Amino acid sequence: MKLTHIKLANFRSFLDEHEFELADGANFFVGPNNCGKSNLISALELSMDPESVFVPERDRPVATQGKGPPKHTRITFTFRSTNKSSPQTTLLDRARKYELALRMKQGRDPGRRAKTYADDGEIRRVVTFGAQGARQVSYQAKGLGAVSLPIDSPEHLALESQFLKVVRFGVVHSGEDLESVLNGKFREVLQLVINDHLSKQLADTEKLREKYVKGLRTVLLKPLRERVFERVSSVFSEIKIVDLLPDVPPLNDTLSSVGITLADAASTELKGKGTGLRGAVLISMLQYLAEQSRRSLVLAVEEPEAFLHPGAQEGIALQLEKLAERPEVTLLVTTHSPHIISRRADARVTELRKSKDGNTHLAATARGDEDRAELLGSLFTDRGLARVLEQATSAPAGTRAIVVTEGYTDGLFLRYGLEAAGRSDLLQGIHFISAGGAKKVVFQAVLADSATHLPVIAILDQDAHGRSARDHLKDFGWTANDHIIYLGSWPKACNLGEHPIEIEDLIPLGAASAVSQVLGDDAHDATQKCKGRTHYSYSKAWKELAIVQLPKELIGRNLDDFVWLGEEISKRIAKIAERRSRVTSISDAAASK
């Protein structure tokens, strides 16, 4: 079963009703400190763990202006079936019987045509906490609203019993250690995994334990037992037996107190390592449990990036993605780090905010592969920085180089030209980043270069802004022979430098004119004569129209200028890669001495 939807009403900072859609992959919740992320996880824990205690003074919103505090807290979960296994089939069958029994109780037709959530492979489970904190679990029937069967009804007891067998919940709080995790809800999950997959090994180990206990009693403790019996029975004749019982914990208790030792330069217990490393070990254990468990798991992890540097955070991110791959696993993660958040299409990012009166609300949500800069803005003091960082780290898998351009159409028109020329190979594995102006190219390019091991190249127009950006990049150690492609180096560039040279100058005049004819005078912001040719400064309207029209206008044209730029990019990539390879070889040789 997969948790697909949460409806939360009146819990801590969540006043009134709030709804959250969950993705098939990992679900990430972001926002500033104290925005309510941990409250969401606590709501999940209270409603999924029957042993958790609801405290109204702590867990219910306080009174608001004009009305007192709400009397009830309600959390509704929607689960979707993920397979046709016997446990899930039984669960859906009992859910359908529950819904039909409720329909009959409400005077509705319970016949074959009655529509139920279970028929759609869904179960809606409701956990309500009353005025004094009393916990009540119920299930919804399609079309019947909030009514439910009594909790002592046969249908409810059968459904709840099967649900608890099929779905398990576990949470790793920020900074939690291994011992507390294994003594919590994960103890049950670990025991189930062992029973499911290691039953023979478990039986063999239990025999070894029994042999060990027997050895303690019959060999090591025997002389002491006999001496105690001899002395005691001589004083108290009614004493017939004295036995010494070694306190050897059962296997389940032993597994819950298991320790981990890690060795690098020295062998150290896990509790002696840093918080970041301890968290990484916990995530690895969660991954094992998720892969091996036959049950459906709802897992919540708070701030897994704690005390890890960005590189290690990216490693944890890959583990979280892997953890969420199994259809029967629902993963919720709270984080303050952009390095943790997945870019996969099956992931979801949700931003939480607090209003001035202290109430939490959902601010925005996006898929992992969508633009998340606005959502991640709350993680930085400057939301503009969030967008720059988002772009700098957004290279998809398979990228061999990053090219930073001044505008969006620079990379797009180059791609159009090379596709029409039959040279798409020149851009294979190239990821374009539009900086939004020459000034921003510097910041974006340098940041991208520091955020990735890939070659990064900047393309700049020949104009005052482009020259200024080029000079600033040179201050960072970039050179015109590798990282910087200045369009003034185009073989057909005007040597006088009297007018700008932009990517549009590489477009064959016939193709550009065909787009211009539609707009007339609105196609150009300015024109300038140069060496017998007219240089056009194309308008925003022209560029917007060219996005649509240019691909067909380029067909059959001479596109050598686009090929020149594509080949120039490839040469620069090869040069940067070769130089880095040389440096790596020298470093490796020095390290091996």
| pLDDT score at 494 | 73
425 with 537, same domain: the answer is yes
pTM comes to 0.68
392 has pLDDT over 70: no
Kindly state whether residue 383 falls inside one of the protein's structural domains: no
453 with 560, same domain: the answer is yes
| pLDDT score at 227 | 87
The sign one gets for the Cα dihedral 435, 437, 441, 443 is negative
Kindly report each contact of residues 199-206 with a partner whose C-beta sits within 8 Å and lies 24 or more positions away, as own/partner: 202/251, 205/251, 206/251
Of 248, 269, 292, which closes a domain?
A: 292
Kindly state whether residue 86 falls inside one of the protein's structural domains: yes
95 with 7, same domain: the answer is yes
SS3 of 127-145: EEECCCCCEEEEECCCCCC
pLDDT band at 379 (very low <50, low <70, confident <90, very high): low
| pLDDT score at 420 | 96
pLDDT in tens, 202-220: 888 889 988 998 888 888 8
81 with 212, same domain: the answer is no
Number of domains in the chain: 3
pLDDT in tens, 317-355: 888 888 899 899 999 999 988 878 888 889 999 999 999
206 with 65, same domain: the answer is no
260 with 320, same domain: the answer is no
180 vs 329 pLDDT, higher one: 329
152 with 276, same domain: the answer is no
166 with 229, same domain: the answer is no
286 with 308, same domain: the answer is no
228 has pLDDT over 70: yes
Q: Please report the DSSP string for 404-453 in residue order.
A: EESSHHHHHHHHHHHHHTT-GGGGTTEEEEE-SSHHHHHHHHHHHHHH-S
25 with 148, same domain: the answer is yes
Q: 31 CB contacts (<8 Å, ≥6 apart)?
A: 37, 351, 352, 353, 363, 378
Kindly state whether residue 590 falls inside one of the protein's structural domains: no
Q: Please report the DSSP string for 50-73 in residue order.
A: TT----HHHHSPPPBTTB---S-E
pLDDT in tens, 65-81: 667 778 899 999 999 99
221 vs 567 pLDDT, higher one: 567
Q: Are 509 and 376 in contact (CB under 8 A)?
A: no
| pLDDT score at 174 | 73
Kindly state whether residue 377 falls inside one of the protein's structural domains: no
pLDDT band at 122 (very low <50, low <70, confident <90, very high): very high
Of 273, 292, 311, which closes a domain?
A: 292
Kindly state whether residue 305 falls inside one of the protein's structural domains: yes
Kindly state whether residue 200 falls inside one of the protein's structural domains: yes
Least confident segment among 13-22, 138-147, 292-301: 292-301
Instruction: Report the mean per-residue pLDDT for the chain.
Output: 85
- Tokens representing 64 are 């608001």
154 with 274, same domain: the answer is no
DSSP annotation of 185:
T
Of 371, 405, 432, which closes a domain?
A: 371
Kindly state whether residue 592 falls inside one of the protein's structural domains: no
Please give the angle made by the CA atoms of 390, 396 and 401, to the nearest 5 degrees: 95
276 with 337, same domain: the answer is no
Kindly state whether residue 589 falls inside one of the protein's structural domains: no
200-237 CB burial, b ≥16 within 10 A, e <16: eebeeeeeeeeeeeeeeeeeebeeebeeebeeeeeeee
What is the domain-level CATH number for residue 9?
Answer: 3.40.50.300
Instruction: Quote the domain boundaries for residue 150.
Output: 2-175+294-371
Least confident segment among 10-19, 141-150, 178-187, 315-324: 178-187
SS3 548: helix
159 has pLDDT over 90: yes
Distance of alpha carbon 482 from alpha carbon 457, whole angstroms: 8
